[in-house]
Each structure stands twice: as C-alpha cells, then as structure tokens.
Amino acid sequence: MRHGKKHNHLGRTTSHRKAMLANMASSLILHKRITTTLAKAKALRVYVEPIITKSKNDTTHSRRTVFAYLQDKEVVTILFREIAEKVANRPGGYTRIIKLNNRLGDNAEMALIELVDYNEVYGKDVEAKEEKKTTRRGRSKAAAAPKSEEAKAETAEVAPETTTEEAPATEEPKGE
C-alpha cells in the first residue's frame, strides 16, 4: 500500500531522484532561477524550502545537515551567507513557480522556479520603472516651475492692457 507517500517519484529510482533534486537545488541556489518542467519544479520546491529554512540557523550541525543534501561546499556557503540573510524575516515561501509555455519537443508543461527575494520580474524592475516615472515627473514639474515664475515676472512687467488683449487672441485659434 502507498498510504502517506505523497512525493512524486518523477519516473526515477530513489537514488536518481535524490541526485537530480540535489543538483537542481544547487543550480537554483547558484543562479537564483531555473527553468524546468512543472512536476520537477513542484518536487524541487518541497525539497529546497526546508533546506533554506535550515540555513537560517548558522550552526555547524545545520551546515552539515544541508551539506548532506546538497553535496557542494560552494553552494552551502552561498546559501548560508547570502540567501539566509535575505530570507531571515520571511516565515516560509522562499520560492515562486511561474508557468511557461509547453516545451516544443514533447509538449511538457514548463515552469520557471525562482527564489522570491531575488526576483527580477516582479519587484526590482517594476519599482525601478515606477521610480523613473516619478522622478521624470518631478523633474518636469521642477523645470516647469522656474519657467512659470519667469513668465509671471514677465507678465508683471508688461502693462495690464497687453495681457487682456492676448487672452482673446488665444481663444480665436481654438474656435478655428
């Protein structure tokens, strides 16, 4: 019976599956995002999130436990130095899975799995674009303000009769 056995076998033996997930987890930690099939991405999320949670507590025991899963010293140091700092306040949900188009060769469902705090699609680029828009607006307002002050100063110097004559002249082109 298979009661209580919920993980996806992915059509592989146990040793092959563990090695594949360890390699994918190492690639995810190194590159911060990878493209794979949807089933593998879901299996990788279950595999890598407890490892990231373990990396929050930087002790010798937790480093050895994580190394037993990943089998790569460089990846373990990156995980404990960089990623653990970013996810220190996050209570879980360290990865995001984004579905992509199906693969051309075999029509497999593809997905992009990425670390949430290192996203480039949702957070930083959107904020940067919004900031640019606001700064441009701010600059244009700031640049327009001195021009309008200069215009007010010029109109103050000109006699009031000329300003009243200019007002109807601007209305006539609008009617045409």
Do 137 and 109 lie in one domain? The reply is no
Is 5 a domain residue?
A: no
Do 48 and 103 lie in one domain? The reply is yes
Question: Which has the minimum average pLDDT: 35-44, 108-117, 163-172?
Answer: 163-172
**Percent above pLDDT 90 for the chain:** 62
Is 157 a domain residue?
A: yes
Is 7 a domain residue?
A: no
Instruction: Please report which confidence band the pLDDT of residue 135 belongs to, taking 50, 70 and 90 as the band edges.
Output: low
Do 67 and 99 lie in one domain? The reply is yes
Is 1 a domain residue?
A: no
Supply the pTM of this predicted model: 0.67
At residue 125, the pLDDT reads: 47
Phi-psi category of residue 93: left, alpha or beta, with phi > 0 → left and psi -120 to 50 → alpha = left
CA atoms within 13 A on the CB side of 83: 30
Between 172 and 26, residue with greater pLDDT: 26
Question: What kind and span of H or E run contains 3?
Answer: none
Per DSSP (E only), the strands in the chain are 33-37, 95-99, 110-115
What would the pLDDT profile of 72-131 be if each residue is shown by its tens digit? 999 999 999 999 999 999 999 999 999 999 999 999 999 999 999 887 656 554 455 555
Given 78, 101, 117, the domain boundary residue is: 117
Residue 55 CB burial class (10 angstroms; 0-12, 13-18, ≥19): buried
**Percent above pLDDT 70 for the chain:** 68
Residue 104 vs residues 99, 100, 101, 108: alpha-carbon distances, Å: 15, 12, 9, 8
Do 27 and 109 lie in one domain? The reply is yes
Angle between helix axes 38-55 and 14-31 (nearest 10 degrees) is 70
Do 24 and 108 lie in one domain? The reply is yes
Do 110 and 70 lie in one domain? The reply is yes
Distance CA 112, CA 94 (A): 14
Closest CA to 36 of 122, 94, 99: 99
Give me the number of domains the chain comprises. Answer: 2
Range of the domain at 136: 125-175
Given 86, 117, 148, the domain boundary residue is: 117
Is 2 a domain residue?
A: no
